[in-house]
Amino acid sequence: MTPHLQTLDLSKCDLFVELHLPIECSHLKSLDLSGSKVSKLNLGMTPHLETLDLSRCKEFVELQLPVECPNPNLKSLDLSGSKVSNLNLGMIPHLETLDLSKCKEFIELQLPVECPNLKSLDLSGSKVSNLNLGMTPHLQRLDLEGCYCLEKIHAPVGCLKQLAYLNLTGSLRFKYFLFNKWSQLPGSDSAPTLELTAESLDICPLHPNNNFPKFQLQCKYVEPVSSWSGNVEMLLSFGVCACTNLDSFSASICGLQRLGKLTLEGSIPEVPKDLYQLESLEALTLCMKKITHLPDSISMMKQLKSLTLKSCWLLEQLPKDLGRLECLKELILTDCIQLRDIPHNVRNMKCLRRLNFSYRSQVKELPEELGRLECASTNLGSFLASICGLQHLRELTLEGGIPEVPKDLGRLESLEELTLSMKEIKHLPNSICMLKHLNSCYGSRPSSKKS
């Protein structure tokens, strides 16, 4: 009896169970039934409906969208917390926002051939297993947190150009994955960076008989606000369940575009072979306890400026052609306990300025004429004599259990800063007085700030 009604708000009507819409309700634009006990709703003839809120309707199981009367103007649909199990968006082709969060019974989202206006999709906490994003070219926000049944996301390169927020935390593949351009400060644009930490799993609940290795990842990916690289699609391409095809995984990593920094940690058994394809990579950090060698292709990374190897316990040697890294400025080797030597051609690195060699290793000496090294840090007494031959060294840190300061320290003609963090030293050599350019000398306890 209210044919011209435009807005109907029955939110928080805890006892409301049924709404009868007239045969034609052509003016209704906003309908809010949130928090009610409605279980079913037939939208019938509501061609101008723009907003429908059925959130927290714990008894709601079915939204009826008549084929003969699509809802072309519906832009916002909230079914969060309901018992809906499936939804066909073919009848609401211009939807912009869809919220199905906390729909624990939801298993299938049917997308039309194209869903051009969808900008925000929230399926967090649902049981959806497959998702095709190739039909949502303007998607900006996608929340899939806690989707434990998710196996595959179809996301062809180019389909997520507008994506600014993606949450996959809590899926079988990703223990943590939050991609959020909106959280970045204005003017903070830089090259994309990726940090991946892998933990081995004994079994994949979705594929218990699969022989592939099983990993759960923590993924931190940052991309400049103003750019699109296709990297998010690439990261999704190797699946969302725990089963991991290592060849596909490596190919995905090496296919990332314009990546500036890459960190790989954890239980991954080998370094991707084709890292040289990351032509823009400037900083590479590997903290991989199971790797026994590095691929020779690392020597082909012409833009690499920083290489960090940390806790690579089984690594015995570096690539023989490591000296080909012409732009390398920083080489950090930490806790590589089986490492036996450093290739002599490292001295060809004309840009190398910093060498950090700490914790245990089998290395006995440094290559002679080590480039124009300006900064060194070590707690290995085995090659202190080699360090004293570095004529261009400006900063030196000696730490740990080294029993004494090298007597020939005065040979470091260019040394400007000296830091000593050594438990056992009792005196300094007289040669320290020969350091004409020394302007800072620090004495500190190990693992403390300079004092």
pLDDT in tens, 81-102: 999 999 988 888 899 999 999 9
* Residue 321 contacts residue 297 (beta carbons within 8 Å): no
Answer left, alpha or beta for residue 56, where phi above 0 means left and psi between -120 and 50 means alpha.
left
Strand locations in 273-312, DSSP E? 283-288, 306-310
Number of alpha helices (DSSP H) and beta strands (DSSP E) in the chain? 3, 26
Q: How would you class 293 by CB atoms within 10 Å of its CB: exposed for 0-12, middle for 13-18, buried for 19 or more?
A: middle
CATH class in words for 282-373: alpha beta
Tokens describing residue 168:
């996959």
Q: How would you class 392 by CB atoms within 10 Å of its CB: exposed for 0-12, middle for 13-18, buried for 19 or more?
A: middle
Q: 170-185, pLDDT tens digit by residue?
A: 999 999 999 999 988 7
Cα–Cα nearest to 312, from 331, 298, 340, 293: 293
pLDDT bracket for residue 44 (50, 70, 90) = confident
- The residue with greater pLDDT, 447 or 361, is 361
Q: What is the mean pLDDT of residues 224-248?
A: 91
* Residue 394 contacts residue 371 (beta carbons within 8 Å): no
Give the model's pLDDT for residue 258: 95
SS3 108: strand
First-residue to last-residue Cα distance in the chain: 83
Give the model's pLDDT for residue 450: 43
Q: Is the pLDDT of residue 265 over 90?
A: yes
Considering the chain, what is the average pLDDT of its residues?
A: 89
Say which range, 67-71, 88-92, 294-298, 431-435, has the weakest mean pLDDT. Answer: 67-71
Q: Is the pLDDT of residue 138 over 80?
A: yes
Q: 321-364, pLDDT tens digit by residue?
A: 999 998 999 999 988 889 888 888 888 888 888 888 776 667 77
Q: Is the pLDDT of residue 380 over 70?
A: no
333 forms beta bridges with 309, 357
Q: Is the pLDDT of residue 371 over 90?
A: no
Give the model's pLDDT for residue 185: 74
Q: Label the pairing between strands 193-200 and 215-222.
A: antiparallel
pLDDT bracket for residue 30 (50, 70, 90) = very high
Render 46-90 in DSSP notation, one character per residue: -TT--EEE-TT-TT--EEE--TTS--TT--EEE-TTS---EEEGG
Highest mean pLDDT among 79-83, 185-189, 242-246, 321-325: 79-83
Residues 6+ apart with CB under 8 A from 2: none
Q: In whole angstroms, what is the distance from residue 133 CA to residue 156 CA?
A: 8
Give the model's pLDDT for residue 449: 44
Q: Where are the domains of the chain?
A: 282-373, 374-451
Percent of the chain with pLDDT over 90: 62
Q: In whole angstroms, what is the distance from residue 138 CA to residue 160 CA?
A: 7
Say which range, 164-173, 179-188, 361-370, has the weakest mean pLDDT. Answer: 361-370
Q: What is the mean pLDDT of residues 268-285?
A: 95
